[in-house]
């Protein structure tokens, strides 16, 4: 059977979809070239914003028509729309769905397919096909790598250069606007051995960059008595990266309250950990931050940015901003604008506030900033950030940067610098995928740079 997975939302969902694909490949299924060719279709959903939830329901509507036309197709719904709670409330609403999968849990689909497969269907996988599959799994993931090892889909083995590895699931912080704790549950740190097995298995399939993931990744190990913290985990993963020839390690997303000097020193000390920190501020006004239940002040965030820049030379800092949070006045928004204009961060992920069920803000605060004003504030910050990043990138002109090449896009090679800046270059002489390339920058813009390749590093 062939499968297709649609993934909406964050990097954690990307990792969850990859884990589901791994389990489907282990069962002998293969990725379809297009959704129309698939026997198993899964939507991995996000509900952080109303727009993401609307996309999921739109796709589910399409699948309802498909299911009526082809009732033997298996339809799966995965992710935050299902949540960690019993999905019975969705079964009557979504009769086209055969399997409901909570976030980060492929087991319901695996169990469904195993139960569905008759002895006759099991025999249909002939001995030669089964032996070939087993040989491939043995060569990619040798025995002893343990729980956590992942088998990439066949079309990604040797071609996927950058991959995500979850290290802590769920979240226990409960910001006023965030639905994640309700949908994904409380924090659960993965065992170190499981993370190491995951990283090793990806490396042996050609992955050269690993990003460790958590809703608040800095809280890794907080739920485990005497367990390692994120800084200690990074040192372990760095050792594995050296052994397995993984070039780069990143981690996200951080939180101002949990970023420690030890963590920053670890990033500065270890050469394979990239100088990129993603630490959201969400708003530039203390009253708004208090209503958001973020747990820090604007001054504390400013001090943190200064500390990060002092401890990690050449660091790039990314953040998140929500505009139009309940009660946000024009003056309070201006504080956010002024903060970003002053700090000059390398990347800002912008979102317009939308109330989410079961959150503190949805229950207790009116959504009183008009949609048009939210849009205006969003656009103002977009324009500002374009100017800021253009100025940050301009000094790279004429410099040589080391780019990890990921793939080709519109006839040019595409890769990223240690600071995660996008760089394109043209070269038809060789295959650059998965290699470190020194590129002399010949053009800079706010969202990418262009250059010419010099000689290969690796």
For residue range 11-24, list pLDDT tens digits in order: 999 999 999 999 99
| CA dist., res. 425 & res. 450, Å (int) | 6
pLDDT given for residue 120 in this prediction:
44
Q: What is the pLDDT of residues 355-405, one digit of tens each?
A: 999 899 999 999 999 999 999 999 999 999 999 999 999 999 999 999 999
pLDDT given for residue 33 in this prediction:
86
pLDDT given for residue 140 in this prediction:
45
Q: Work out whether strand 188-189 and strand 209-214 pair parallel, antiparallel, or are unpaired.
A: unpaired
Residue carrying structure tokens 């129309």: 36
Q: Which domains does the chain have, with CATH numbers?
A: 2-125 (3.40.50.12160), 144-394 (3.80.30.20), 397-453 (2.40.50.140)
Q: Is 80:358 a contact under the CB 8 Å cutoff?
A: no
Residues (pLDDT < 70) of the chain are 85-88, 118-146, 456-458
pLDDT given for residue 124 in this prediction:
53
Collect all residues with Cβ–Cβ distance below 8 Å to 154 and sequence separation of at least 6.
25, 30, 31
Distances (CA, A) of 431 to 64, 330, 405, 410, 411: 43, 52, 10, 15, 12
Percentage, residues of the chain above pLDDT 90: 85
Q: What is the pTM of this model?
A: 0.91
Q: Is 180:26 a contact under the CB 8 Å cutoff?
A: no
Question: Can you list the pairs that 136-144 forms with residues at least 24 positions away whose Cβ atoms lie under 8 Å?
Answer: 137/26, 140/201, 140/204, 140/205, 141/201, 141/204
**Tokens matching residue 55:** 């996309």
pLDDT given for residue 86 in this prediction:
59
**Tokens matching residue 296:** 């820090």
pLDDT given for residue 123 in this prediction:
52
Give me the sheet containing 347-352, strands edge to edge. 276-278, 316-323, 347-352
CA 399 to chain centre: 30
| CA dist., res. 430 & res. 458, Å (int) | 13
**Other C-beta atoms within 10 Å of 397: how many?**
13
Residue carrying structure tokens 């604008």: 337
pLDDT given for residue 146 in this prediction:
67
Of 181, 168, 238, the closest CA to residue 209 belongs to: 238
Q: Return the sign of the alpha-carbon dihedral for residues 46, 50, 51, 57.
A: positive
Q: Return the sign of the alpha-carbon dihedral for residues 181, 186, 188, 189.
A: positive
pLDDT given for residue 368 in this prediction:
97
Q: Return the sign of the alpha-carbon dihedral for residues 290, 292, 293, 299.
A: negative
List, as one string, the DSSP characters of 190-251. PPHHHHHHHHHHHHTTT--EEEEEETTGGGTTTTSTT---HHHHHHHHHHHHHHHT--EEEE
């Amino acid at each position: 059977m062939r499968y297709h997975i649609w993934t909406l939302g964050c990097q954690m969902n990307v990792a969850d979809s990859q884990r589901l694909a791994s389990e489907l490949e282990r069962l002998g299924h293969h990725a379809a070239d297009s959704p129309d060719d698939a026997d198993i279709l899964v939507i991995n959903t996000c509900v952080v914003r109303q727009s993401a939830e609307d996309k999921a329901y739109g796709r589910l509507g399409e699948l309802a028509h498909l299911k009526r036309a082809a009732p033997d197709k298996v339809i799966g719904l995965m992710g935050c729309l299902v949540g960690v709670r019993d999905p019975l409330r969705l079964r009557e609403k979504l009769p086209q769905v055969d399997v409901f999968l909570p976030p980060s849990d492929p087991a319901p689909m695996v169990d469904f397919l195993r139960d569905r497969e008759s002895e006759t269907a099991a025999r249909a996988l002939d001995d030669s096909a089964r032996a070939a599959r087993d040989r491939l799994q043995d060569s990619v993931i040798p025995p002893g790598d343990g729980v956590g090892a992942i088998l990439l889909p066949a079309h990604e083995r040797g071609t996927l250069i950058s991959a995500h590895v979850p290290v802590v699931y769920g979240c226990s912080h409960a910001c006023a606007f965030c639905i994640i704790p309700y949908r994904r549950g409380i924090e659960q740190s993965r065992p170190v051995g499981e993370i190491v097995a995951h990283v090793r298995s990806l490396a042996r399939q050609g992955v050269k960059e690993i990003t460790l993931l958590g809703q608040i990744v800095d809280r890794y190990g907080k739920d485990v008595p005497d367990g390692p913290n994120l800084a200690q985990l990074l040192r372990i993963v760095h050792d594995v990266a050296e052994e397995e020839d993984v070039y780069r390690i990143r981690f996200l997303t951080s939180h101002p309250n949990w970023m420690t000097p030890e963590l920053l020193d670890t990033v500065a000390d270890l050469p394979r950990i990239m100088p990129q920190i993603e630490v959201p501020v969400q708003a530039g006004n203390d009253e708004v931050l208090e209503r958001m239940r973020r747990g820090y002040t604007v001054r504390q965030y400013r001090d943190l940015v200064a500390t990060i820049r002092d401890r990690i030379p050449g660091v790039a800092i990314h953040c998140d901003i929500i505009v139009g949070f309940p009660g946000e006045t024009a003056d309070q928004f201006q504080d956010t604008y002024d903060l970003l204009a002053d700090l000059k961060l390398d990347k800002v992920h912008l979102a317009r506030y939308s109330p989410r069920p079961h959150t503190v803000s949805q229950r207790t605060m009116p959504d009183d900033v008009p949609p048009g004003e939210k849009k205006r504030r969003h656009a103002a910050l977009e324009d500002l950030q374009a100017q800021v990043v253009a100025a940050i990138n301009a000094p790279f002109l004429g410099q040589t940067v080391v780019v990890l090449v990921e793939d080709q896009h519109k006839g040019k090679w595409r890769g990223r610098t240690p600071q995660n800046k996008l760089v394109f270059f043209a070269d038809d002489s060789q295959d650059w995928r998965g290699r470190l390339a020194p590129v002399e920058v010949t053009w800079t813009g706010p969202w990418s740079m262009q250059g010419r390749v010099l000689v290969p590093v690796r």
